[in-house]
Chains A and B, each alone.
Chain A
Amino acid sequence: MKRIQWNRKILLLIPFFLIAAMFLIIPMVMMVTSSFTSEATGAFTLDNYKEVLTNPFYTQAFMNSGLISIFSSVTGLVLAILVSYAMTNLPDKVQDKLTVYINVAANFAGVPLAFAFIILLGNSGVFRLFLDNLEWPLLNNFDLYSWQGLAITYLYFQIPLGILFIYPSLKKIRKEWKEAAFMLGATNWIYWRKVGLPSIMPSIAGTFVIMFANGMGTYETAYALTGSNVNLVTIRIAALVSGDIYARPIIGSTLAVLFAVIMIVILFVSQMLLKRVRRDLA
């Protein structure tokens, strides 16, 4: 072909971009514009942001969401690395099967998960009553419908999610590297510090960000478990946009915009950092 003609194939992309515009781009734009609109007059205003940022109820929601996400992703990540490493020591066939099951487990979130934990650890949970019977006060200070309960429950889907990302990158570490390092006189510890960890560091960092974002965005599990007991951003937004009595969609939009900005900044910064890490490693 000598010249590229105007490519008619681009017409076939119209349905996709139409849907993306209708259900993603325009709604997001409208959400942003409405966050700058006065509830009373409909004029342009920054008051919504002023309100959200000064009302301790909303700032606390951000704090709570952030804390629980950090806790669940850090703990989850450590455990995911541990389990992934243990997995690589298993026979190959078992490893393949396990990844499938872990995929299923990572999908077991939301209402069913919350409920399973209620049966076990709730106020009249089986496990709790069982311990009471034995007169072990192990769970006496534990409240499932609180921050602690959320943390335990989040971990349940955060660990498999972490494994799904960490395990493949651990598998990519070549046995030859280890052997080469040992030949050159490295100990196990030196090998991991100088070769092993640096080579999976980018994927650990990337996984952490995904897990954190996942924690921040979680709504169903928290809603099913605690209703509105724990003040989280997602729960707050949902209540503001769809609640019957307290509906304040514009404030909801403002929170949502702030939330999205935080997420985008985190993802963006982490991408930048990851690029740098990769460059440094190269």
Chain B
Amino acid sequence: MSFIAIDELKLSYGDNNVLKNISLNIEEGELVTLLGPSGCGKSTLLRVLAGLEVFQEGELYLDGEEISNLPSKDRNVGFVFQSYALFPNMTVYENIAFGLTIKKLPKTEINQKVMAVLRLVNLEDKADYYPDQLSGGQQQRISLARSLVTEPKVLLLDEPLSALDAKIRKQLQMDIRKLQKQLGITMIFVTHDQEEAMILSDRVIVMNEGKIVQQATPQELYAQPKTHFVASFIGNYNILTSEQLKQLHPAFTGKSGKHSYAIRSETIQIKPIHGENVLSFPAHLDDYTVLGSTIRCYYTAGTLKLTVDVLNSEINISELAKTTDLYIHHDHIVPIDM
């Protein structure tokens, strides 16, 4: 059995089914993100694992033990809140030591552990500060340290970086990933930011309306979105129906039973691709924006709008032709469910 196993979990508030029959396995040492729009049930699932939410049906296993009816305080899981939830009346040191004091560890041991974990998050010099004297990023690192110091079996992080500004968020993403690899701890990370999910995880679980819609490695997820929802949530895809593709190129024959297709914008080429199974069709350039390393071009082909990403190094902007032919290899036309 997996380290964490969630088996046919159902949770509802009255008539509102928040989690609909969720089953999920997570291995020890894995970093998994739960990704989805707000209200998809990802945070609720995390809180169920922590014992903070009451559910109706299903089973939960952690390290071989059924934990459904175990109170939070006996589950030995760490939890990092979006709002940090540091205790304002306690110093950084007291905050981190809190869990250990509850366990009635000897003072010297507490001291050792607290200082060690402070070193880990690089905030040794802030031990005597109060939370409101620290920046958001520092507070979240303390919160992380407070959860790690009790050596939990799994660390649950509920959108921990959402309240921070972009630069610090990037930095902390790196830090968390490094820390996780270093300690080999199992982490479940909730986020609504697909980029963050891609950067951090071993595996991404995409959720929508209380269901898991796809689970895959970041690379798989990006290359092969399974549904219309995943493709549009991950972004950067042109989503077309088979009729629309036939309009572009009458020779196109879709896979049987599939109606929609996702085409990543960087797989559409403005330079000819040779070989078989290539669709080509004329298009008109409406506009473009420079994103940095890529240029995003907006084309119209017949009645269809297409987004095409071109590497900035590959082409000189002045050379972008108003009317051109576009090329797509069949392999890059990914069939998706509605």
* Contact flag (A, B; Cβ within 8 A): yes
What are 15 contact pairs spanning A and B, CB under 8 A? A1-B51, A1-B53, A1-B54, A1-B55, A1-B68, A1-B69, A1-B71, A2-B54, A2-B55, A2-B56, A2-B68, A2-B69, A3-B54, A3-B69, A4-B54
Bound CA–CA A2/B68 (angstroms) = 6
Q: How far is the CA of A153 from the CA of B161 in the complex (A)?
A: 57
Chain B interface category by residue count: under 10
Q: How far is the CA of A15 from the CA of B321 in the complex (A)?
A: 81
8 A Cβ contacts from B47-104 to A: 51, 53-56, 68-69, 71
Please indicate which of the listed interface residues A1, A2, A4 has the most CB atoms of chain B within 10 Å of its own CB: A2
Q: Which residues of A contact B54 (CB under 8 A)?
A: 1-4
Q: Which residue on chain A has the smallest CB distance to residue B66?
A: A2
**Complex contacts, A3 vs chain B, CB 8 Å:** 54, 69
CB neighbours of A2 from chain B (8 A): 54-56, 68-69
Indicate the size class of the contact surface on chain A. under 10
- What distance in Å separates the Cβ of B53 from its nearest Cβ neighbour in chain A? 8
Query: Which residues does chain A contribute within 8 Å of B69, judged by CB atoms?
Result: 1-3
Q: Which of A1-55 contact B (CB under 8 A)?
A: 1-4
Spell out A's residues near B (CB within 8 Å).
1-4
Residues on A with C-beta less than 8 A from B56 are 2
Q: Which residues of B contact A (CB under 8 A)?
A: 51, 53-56, 68-69, 71
- Chain B residue at minimal CB-CB distance from A5: B69
Once the chains are docked, how many angstroms separate the CA of A206 from the CA of B176? 50
User: What is the CB-to-nearest-CB distance from A6 to chain B, in angstroms, rounded to a whole number?
Assistant: 13
Known: A1-B68, A3-B54. 9 other contacts (CB 8 A): A1-B51, A1-B53, A1-B54, A1-B55, A1-B69, A1-B71, A2-B56, A2-B69, A3-B69
List chain A residues, Cβ under 8 A from B53: 1
A4 CA / B13 CA spacing, docked (Å): 13
In the complex formed, the residue of B with least CB distance to A2 is B68
Q: A2 vs B54: C-alpha distance in the bound complex, in angstroms?
A: 5
B22 to chain A, nearest CB (A): 14
> With A and B bound together, what is the CA distance between A1 and B70 in angstroms?
7
Q: How far is the CB of A159 from chain B (nearest CB, A)?
A: 37
A4 to B56, CA, bound (A): 10
Give chain B residues whose Cβ lies under 8 Å from the Cβ of A1.
Answer: 51, 53-55, 68-69, 71
A1, B53: Cα distance in complex, Å: 6
How far apart sit A174 and B71, CA to CA, in the bound complex (Å)?
45
Which A residue sits closest to B9, measured CB to CB?
A2
In the complex, how many angstroms separate the beta carbon of A8 from the nearest chain B beta carbon? 13
CB distance from B59 to the nearest CB of A (A): 9
Q: How far is the CA of A1 from the CA of B69 in the complex (A)?
A: 5
